[in-house]
Amino acid sequence: MVTESRTYDAVIVGAGQSGVPLSTALARAGWKVALVERQYVGGSCINWGCTPTKTMVASARVAHVARRAETYGVHAGPVKVNMAAVRRRKAEIVEGFRQNLQRRIREAEGVDLIMGEARFTGHKALAVSLNDGGSLHLSADKILLNTGGRPHVPHLPGLEDVPFLDSTSVMELEELPEHLIILGGGYVGLEFGQMFCRFGSQVTIVQRSGQLLSEEDPDVAEAVAQILREDGIQVLLNAEAREARQENGTISLHVQAPDGQQVLRGSHLLVATGREPNTDALNLAAGGVAVDRRGYIVADERLETNVPGIYALGDVKGGPAFTHVSYDDYRILCANLLEGGGRTVHDRPVPYVVFTDPQLGRVGLTERQAREAGRRFRVARMPMSWVARAVEVDETRGLMKALVDAETGQILGAAILGYQGGEIMAMIQVAMMGGLPYTALRDAVFTHPTLSEALNSLFSSLEDEGSG
């Protein structure tokens, strides 16, 4: 085995949505940088998350709209979905993104892209097992960990003997599941559930808690559940999976539900019960880097670990697992390392979108969070059926909801479940970032007919004050 030692100004482990832009930014500033990646550049987002899933969601929406063509006075005929073609389109888009990103890295002066798996061997010292054989020993004053996460596999009796799917492998199916059972009612479970239902599968979602999307307000979660039920999805709440089995090519999931035990039988099982960090292979103990009880790297508000000069970025440090959070981690470190800044993660807004159809866009506080914080607030609510543009395009499912501080009139948060809900939410987020009171949106002159003008009506519908 060939072994070589190299010293850098910075070693970045993981070519994800933080690691890649940080590597090129540091290099432009004159740093000598090593970017280590064990499989694909781009991280979860490009390879297994946002890009492929939303590409497939788009295919599912086309199938959905085609089936509803007569609603618009259009006769489209029977709809058939070619899963192999859906998968091929997804793969082509992912590969295009990946190749473009890899080309940018390789063209960047001062960045060495090293394909292999890194592990700590000591204080700010790493060994990399190269994918094409041999190894490297790397050391640097700054080490930045951007290794991301992977699907969590729960401890469920019998699961190890069942050919279950996760959020990565489910996208490689070339044949449509006859009956897809989904364990988990979070973002992943809902997006894939609706997607495969629209492709033509029977779908059952099994959720352990009493609502889908457990972090949302109950009224919003119930509205999402109702939409999925309208689409033909069976939603089981307060349902605890007890055992999984495979019998004669059929997967059975034994579930304890409020009305007793049930045995669900399906052709495929998707496990969507969360994520876990990619820290087990890093040998963090050798580097002195602390982790929490779930294996996430412990980092402070400036993203620095307990070891000065070692930082954690993106999903590997826990918290909201979103691409835009990871990218903002890059901006924080870029400002602090190159500009002498003091940026932190404190109080940064973390918006997100659940890419069901209609979308659920969320920013700021929920009602529950506002009450827990002791805030006095008022609530604005409005169904999407009141929005002229939504009526015109026949996309009236869902609701708009916003919280307003009872004293200052500042917008505290919003949930927009509706057609292009993420885009509408972003408008509210911009108002929040600018410190605008709700009246600025209530009284604004928006173009008619657009979705944005619904904000006039939404913020005219404030209810009586609620409080913590």
Q: Write out pLDDT tens, residues 300-347.
A: 999 999 999 999 999 999 998 999 999 999 999 999 999 998 899 988
Q: Are residues 258 and 300 in the same domain?
A: no
- DSSP 3-state assignment of 369? helix
Q: Which of 217, 250, 273 lies at the terminal end of a domain, its last residue?
A: 273
What per-residue confidence (pLDDT) applies to 464? 66
Query: Do residue 330 and residue 458 come from a single domain?
Result: no
Q: Give the pLDDT score at 341.
A: 86
For residues 380 and 232, state if they share a domain.
Answer: no
Give the number of other CB atoms < 10 A from CB of residue 170: 24
Region of residue 14 (phi > 0: left; psi between -120 and 50: alpha; otherwise: beta): left
348 occurs within a structural domain: no
Tens of pLDDT along 80-139?
999 999 999 999 999 999 999 999 999 999 999 999 999 999 999 999 999 999 999 999
Read off the pLDDT band of 463 (50, 70, 90). confident
Let me know: does 225 contact 236? Beta carbons within 8 Å.
no
Instruction: Check 64, 137, 268, 448 and give the catalytic one.
Output: 448
Q: What is the pLDDT of residues 188-222, one digit of tens each?
A: 999 999 999 999 999 999 999 999 999 999 999 99
Establish how many alpha carbons lie within 13 A of residue 250's alpha carbon, considering only the half-sphere containing its beta carbon. 11
Reply yes or no on whether the pLDDT at 468 is more than 90. Answer: no
Two tokens, residue 395:
């996309």
pLDDT tens, position by position, 19-56: 999 999 999 999 999 999 999 999 999 999 999 999 99
Question: pTM of the prediction?
Answer: 0.95
174 and 217, same domain (yes or no): yes
Q: How far apart (Å, rounded) are the C-alpha atoms in residues 141 and 164?
A: 43
Q: Which residue among 228, 247, 273 closes a domain?
A: 273
In a domain, 172, yes or no: yes
pLDDT for 1 equals: 55
Q: Are residues 363 and 315 part of one domain? A: no
At residue 465, the pLDDT reads: 62
Range of the domain at 213: 159-273
Residues 140 and 284 in one domain: yes
* 262 and 399 inside one domain: no
Q: Answer whether residue 287 is part of any domain.
A: yes
One domain for residues 324 and 297: yes
The three state secondary structure string of 66-109 is HHCHHHHCCCCCCCCCCHHHHHHHHHHHHHHHHHHHHHHHHHCC
CATH of the domain at 424: 3.30.390.30
pLDDT category at 185 given cuts 50, 70, 90 is very high
pLDDT range class, residue 348, cuts 50, 70, 90: confident
Question: Is 179 marked active-site?
Answer: no
- List, for residues 57-77, the tens digit of each pLDDT value: 999 999 999 999 999 999 988
Tell me if 107 is assigned to some domain. yes
Q: Tokens 């490009």 appear where?
A: 46
Provide the pLDDT for residue 42.
95
CA distance 465 to 457: 18
Q: How many domains does the chain have?
A: 3
What's the average model confidence in pLDDT over 5-10?
97
CATH number at residue 199: 3.50.50.60
**Residues 113 and 27 occupy one common structural domain:** yes
Whether residue 460 is found in the same domain as residue 399: yes
Helices 218-230 and 187-199: crossing angle, nearest 10°?
20
Work out the percent of the chain whose per-residue pLDDT is above 90.
94
